[in-house]
Structure 1
Amino acid sequence: MENGEFEVGKTYSRWFIHDVLKGGRYKGIATPSEHPLIFIFTGDAGSTYGYQDEFLEDDTFLYTGEGTEGEMTMDGGNEAIRSHNANGDDLHLFENTDLPWISTYLGEYEYVGHRRTELPDENGDLRDAFRFELAPIGGTDVELETTPTALSDQELFEKATQSSPAGTQPGEPEETPTNSSTSRSYPRSDIVRKFALRVADGVCQGCEEAAPFRNPSGDPFLEVHHLTRRSDGGPDDPENVIALCPNCHRRVHEGRDGDEFNRRLKDEASVRNKRYR
């Protein structure tokens, strides 16, 4: 950690981070002056100040800028995020846990844009705020020569596996995107999601009942569940997703036997994937 290297899914003490690497330990955006690093922290407590952070379907993370009262301005930590590439600073994202000063490392991200939107400040007054669009290092897109629906189950599994961060071994270079005029980019998470839904074939992988209804496109409605949460280091990878009906999905997250049920689902996913290896 002394060199600004962190392990995705591992928890770290903010006190220790700042003791070693410096930077404001009480700020959501910390900018150590002695290192080319920026630390950004997200968590439920931010909602007190009107902060609204969230992952989008393509794995982009929307991060609310700093400023608890009045309109946000593009300076300080906000400018540090926007200019981190130009300044040669690495941007590291952490999520606060329920334990005081303990945060989970979510990964290295980069600025791709920002939005201006109205959000409440700590007094509940609406104000102009920044929401930064941050993409995980390594990209969020997969290049395909055809559409995902035209791929066989085996081909979809292989593309989903290759596109996942877990599909690249440490020290192994990532596949260079093709420049073919016939190729098209698809969100990495969308390829993995399509695989989980395709192999489920309209049947919940938890209760083995048919999907409860069809969506507006006429497809069976199932939800894709991450067996290990992304905030705990779970990647978008075929090994980490399974398709569930809404009831089973809620059972995992809210049920008394949720943890035990999730372990069974992990076994189901492992058995499923053996067919495609």
Structure 2
Amino acid sequence: MSFKTSLKIGQVLTNDELMKEFSVANSGGMRRSLKNNVLVIISDHTKGLYDDKYYGNELHYTGMGMKGDQELYKQQNKTLAESNSNGIEVHLFEVFKAKEYIYRGIVKLCKEPYQEKQLDEDNNERKVWMFPLIILDSEEMIDSDVYNVYYQDKIKKIRKLSKDNLEQIVREKNNVKTSYRTIKTTTYIRDPYIVEYAKLRADGFCQLCGEKAPFYTKNNKPYLEAHHLKWLSKGGTDTIDNVVALCANCHRKMHELNNKDDIKKLKMVLDEYNKIRDY
């Protein structure tokens, strides 16, 4: 009888729960269970060593081996390479946050494995094996909030690299095909009346830096951007007492830094308007 899991697509497990469900080892990116005849593969995006890529619902998964050139017919690389004929079922997990394993379901090898160059754990160039896998449940999408947290964390790690290491990495990526995948986002519908009134109220000047709008639009309107002082994603309201008009630079600054002094200044601006008019 083939192995049946009770997991649902998108379900988040701890490492202990993953081990118990599939009867696999407690570490490694490729874990085989002889008992259940399954191979669990983990695409861990929090670790910079392996460069897995998505092309839609197709995952190009980096093989096993942390140092030196990888071998195709060795250990679990061999298991995965022969998975369409050896009867083993391959289950995929993704990690965007340490210790949280997101179940993506069953995957199958859809093309022949191929080699590409990556850096090993000592930052030496080596050849790795890439396994093109099709995700059978192609409707499953990654949540944008989950992805953004991972992306910002990766940026922080990249900034710690030396210039030489960074140059070596980007040289290898120069001719690499651009990866892509579907991201699930929540869109907040901003009231256009509120947006336009906030810009009109600012009278052509950024309400943070005080500078004149950097240019005029085709409709001869000063270009400013509406900003919710308390973000809608954090429970803020789409009302005129929560919206200011900023130049593009200050708008980006608020989203990057959200500096307490800047928030205080903008609150004072809104308070002044509230004294003049009753909204």
TM-score, with structure 2 as normaliser: 0.48
RCO higher in structure (CA 8 A, sep ≥6)? 1
Query: What's the TM-score, normalizing by structure 1?
Result: 0.49
Which structure: larger Rg? 2
